[in-house]
């Protein structure tokens, strides 16, 4: 009888330790990135591919560089705008500047991407831009895996694999926007779903899509 009580006590103690570990992990988890905004950004990339593939859009390298530059700026302001809103208005954050520290993890990859992009454009060598962007975006996702849902590594690996294929395939043209648009549409929607579903149960894919469209499902939405 005493052994049974002792085993029960040990079991409850281990459960409490697991709960404490889970709470510590949740506190370390960065909630500033929005799954909804990532999905919207991916959709913007696909729409840009549609526009740039039309016959009336200038089929020049400069026009396509400008087009993808606009996509980048839209995604940048959407994602960081959502993060600033989270920082200012989430009561759990309390506007503690230290909560923004995880955003620094992706800066090295993005900085290198910017330098390589400028170098390629200045040398009028556009062939490798898609591969560079995808690969470094993948590295940025992998660098954030310790503060985001662990499944985010899937997105990072996906972008790196897609980037490697673009870098190793000489037939890929920078003037074909579908490659970039489709890859980023899939990647950002996958990342958005991973962020949105983190710690949330009983949600269907249909409810997530409806939430993205701002129709319903807010009662299930994770505030990130």
pLDDT, tens only, 73-102: 999 999 989 889 888 988 887 888 877 887
pLDDT for 185: 98
98-101, long-range: CB within 8 Å, 24+ apart, which pairs?
99/30, 99/32, 100/32
Angle among Cα 30, 183, 39 to the nearest 5 degrees reads 40
Write out the two tokens for 157. 């690996």
pLDDT for 217: 44
Closest listed residue to residue 192, CA positions, set 69, 79, 91: 79
Mean pLDDT split into 10-residue runs, the chain, 224 residues: 57 54 50 88 97 96 97 94 88 80 82 94 94 95 86 95 92 94 97 81 58 51 41
pLDDT for 110: 86
pTM of the model: 0.76
R_g (Cα) of the chain, nearest Å: 21
Burial annotation 121-148 (CB, 10 A radius, 16+ → b, else e): eeeeebebbbbbbbbbbbbbbbbbbebb
pLDDT for 213: 64
Q: Is the dihedral of CA 180, 183, 186, 191 positive or negative?
A: negative
Closest listed residue to residue 134, CA positions, set 116, 121, 151, 119: 116
pLDDT for 5: 60
Sorted by where each begins, the domain ranges of the chain are 31-220
């Amino acid at each position: 009888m005493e052994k049974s009580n002792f085993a029960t006590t040990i079991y409850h103690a281990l459960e409490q330790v697991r709960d404490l570990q889970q709470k510590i992990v949740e506190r370390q988890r960065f909630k500033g990135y929005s799954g909804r905004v990532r999905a919207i950004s991916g959709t913007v990339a696909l729409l840009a591919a549609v526009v740039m593939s039309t016959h009336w859009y200038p089929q020049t390298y400069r026009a396509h560089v400008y087009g993808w530059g606009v996509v980048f700026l839209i995604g940048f302001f959407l994602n960081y705008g959502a993060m600033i809103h989270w920082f200012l208005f989430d009561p759990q954050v309390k506007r503690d500047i230290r909560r923004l520290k995880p955003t620094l993890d992706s800066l090295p990859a993005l900085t290198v991407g910017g330098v390589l992009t400028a170098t390629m454009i200045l040398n009028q060598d556009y062939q490798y831009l898609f591969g560079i962007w995808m690969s470094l975006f993948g590295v940025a996702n992998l660098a954030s895996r310790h503060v985001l849902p662990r499944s985010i590594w899937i997105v990072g690996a996906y972008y790196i694999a897609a980037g490697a294929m673009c870098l190793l395939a000489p037939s890929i043209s920078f003037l074909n926007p579908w490659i970039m648009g489709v890859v980023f549409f899939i990647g950002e929607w996958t990342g958005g779903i991973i962020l949105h579903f983190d710690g949330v149960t009983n949600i269907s894919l249909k409810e997530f899509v409806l939430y993205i469209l701002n129709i319903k499902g807010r009662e299930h939405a994770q505030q990130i």
